[in-house]
Structure 1
Amino acid sequence: MQPLCPAYILHSRPFQDNKLLLQLLMPEQGRVSAVIRKRQGKQRFALQPFQLFTVALSGRSSLKTVTTLDELAPAVRFNGKFLFSALYLNELICRLWPDDMAAEQLFDHYQHSLVALEQAQHTPEMLEPCLREFEFSLLTELGLQIDWQHAADGAPLLADLQYLWQPEQGFVVAGRGWSGTVLQAIGQNNWQHTDALKVAKQVSRQLLAPLLGDKPLHSRALFNALG
């Protein structure tokens, strides 16, 4: 009997007759592709995103089969830009997380971000911080270490200097760029600091761009369509 493991459904689409192809996020297995029948016996599955399940998988190939699926917690409900933001988290993982790479820390970050997004529906000013924190957590888990306190040469970031990000190096002194004070504030999640959110978005976009390539994000287009 296969062990039951916690999982979130990141994406689903029709697959063959009466089946769905799922992208799952699981702590030990990471991002997993799996097939499930829409109905098994008398049970018809309601496959909600942003809902914690327990699943059992079978199969030796990279495409697994879901043999058991049970709800572990109710789905987190989102509306409008918060829904598109949650879909954005899912899409980032689907696009960037390697197949079958363990994701214990990412799984925790994802759960925390869903809760934070749900709370942000009552405090909308927390939406942007939630997205930036998840992006930087994901980049860290992918091996891109961001030192928010030191420049590439190891010197502390200084308030009166400007910096730019250089790939495979870090922040380097530049004639025009981001102030050391703002970068340090981002590293401390001090979102009340002037320009912290604006600069964090700029840094995040720059770091994510080479990983995402030229293919646009569907969730970002939906979010932008709201104005």
Structure 2
Amino acid sequence: MQPLCPAYILHSRPFQDDKLLLQLLMPEQGRVSAVIRKRQGKQRFAMQPFQLFTVALTGRSSLKTIRTLDELAPASRFTGKFLFSALYLNELICRLWPDDMAAEQLFNYYQQSLQALERAQQTPEQLEPCLREFEFSLLNELGLPVDWQHDASGSVLNADLQYYWLPEQGFVISPGGWPGAALLAIGQQNWQQAGSLQVAKQLSRLLLKPLLGDKPLQSRALFSTPV
């Protein structure tokens, strides 16, 4: 009997005549491509994103077959920009997370971010902090952490100085750059600090761009103003 494992559906598309090709996020297996037969009747709506499932997989190739898929918790419900934001998280993982690389921490970050997005529907000012925190958590898991306390030379960041980011080095003092106070606040997730959200957005875009390449994110196009 195949073991049951928790999973989220990140993406689905038709595959052959009666199947779907799913992109799953699982703690131990990471991002997994798997095929499942389409559900019929009342069950056809059951395979939705933002819902925790248990799955049993078979197959030795990179493309697995789903033998069982059962709902473990109700789906998170999103509308408008909150739905677009949740789709953005899914697309980032599909584009950036390597095949079959374990994702225990990422799975936790993703689950926490869905919960934070749900809460943000009642407090919309929390939307951007949720997205920025997930982006930097994902970058950290990909081996691209940001040191929010020190510059490239190892000196402690100074709230009164300004900095820019140099790839593979870190922050360097640069007049006209980002305020050190904002960088220190981001590291503490202090989003009340003036400029912290704007700086976090600019820096996350800078770090994500070489990973994403020239192909635009479809989820960003859903926003009139990009996330």
Root-mean-square deviation (CA, aligned residues, Å) is 1.7
| TM-fit CA distance, 1:55 | 0.1
**How many residues are treated as equivalent by the alignment?**
227
2:47 aligned residue = 47
Q: 1:3 is paired with a residue of what secondary structure?
A: coil
Aligned match of 1:166: 166
Q: CA deviation at 1:39?
A: 3.0
- Per-residue CA distance 1:55-78 (angstroms, 9 max, x = gap): 000000000000000000010000
Partner SS, residue 218 of structure 1: coil
- SS of 2:219's partner is helix
- Partner of residue 80, structure 2: 80
* Partner in structure 2 of residue 123 of structure 1: 123
Task: Give 3-state SS (helix, strand or coil) of 1:155's partner.
Answer: coil
Q: After alignment, is 127-136 or 44-53 more displaced?
A: 44-53
CA contact (8 A) 2:51 2:75 kept: yes
Compared with structure 1, are the counterparts of its residues 149 and 94 closer, same or farther at alpha carbon in structure 2 (3 Å cutoff)?
same
SS at match of 2:146: coil
| Runs of 4+ that moved beyond 2 A | 39-45, 224-227
1:189 aligns with 2:184: no
Distance 1:225 1:140, change over 3 A: closer
Q: Which residues of 2 match residues 12-161 of structure 1 at below 5 A? A: 12-39=12-39, 44=44, 46-161=46-161
Shift of 1:224: 2.5
Q: By how many angstroms is 1:225 displaced?
A: 6.4
Q: Percent identity?
A: 80
When the two structures are superposed, what TM-score results if normalisation uses the length of structure 2? 0.97
Alignment partner, residue 202 of structure 2: 202
Structure 1 unpaired stretches of 5+: none
TM-score (norm 1): 0.97
CA distance in 1: counterparts of 2:223 and 2:103, whole angstroms:
27
Counterpart CA distance in 2 for 1:71 and 1:30 is 19
Whole-Å Cα distance in 2 between the matches of residues 138 and 126 of structure 1?
A: 18
